[in-house]
Amino acid sequence: MALTTFIRKSGLKILALAPLDEVEYRVVLYLMNCYASGLKSIATDPSDLELLLGIEYNKLTAALNHL
């Protein structure tokens, strides 16, 4: 789904109401930024995201599993 379609269909409102914790929101916003920046695909693993976002590996993997 295109980011503009997501926004038009109240995707940001739904995201704002989702019961996510801080780490989950950081991951979602990072991925949305990658998409908005024009990246067509993203190949990464939790250890890469750990370095990029500065989040402990255990917290990050728990957030990814919850999402």
What pLDDT score does 14 carry?
Answer: 79
- Report the percentage of the chain scoring pLDDT > 90: 24
Nearest to 26 by CA among 6, 64, 17: 64
Q: What is the DSSP letter of 10?
A: T
Q: pLDDT class for 1, splitting at 50, 70, 90?
A: low
In tens, the pLDDT along 11-61 reads 778 778 888 899 999 998 888 888 888 887 776 788 888 888 899 999 999
Q: Which stretches of 18-56 are DSSP H helices? A: 22-36, 46-53
pTM metric for this prediction: 0.75
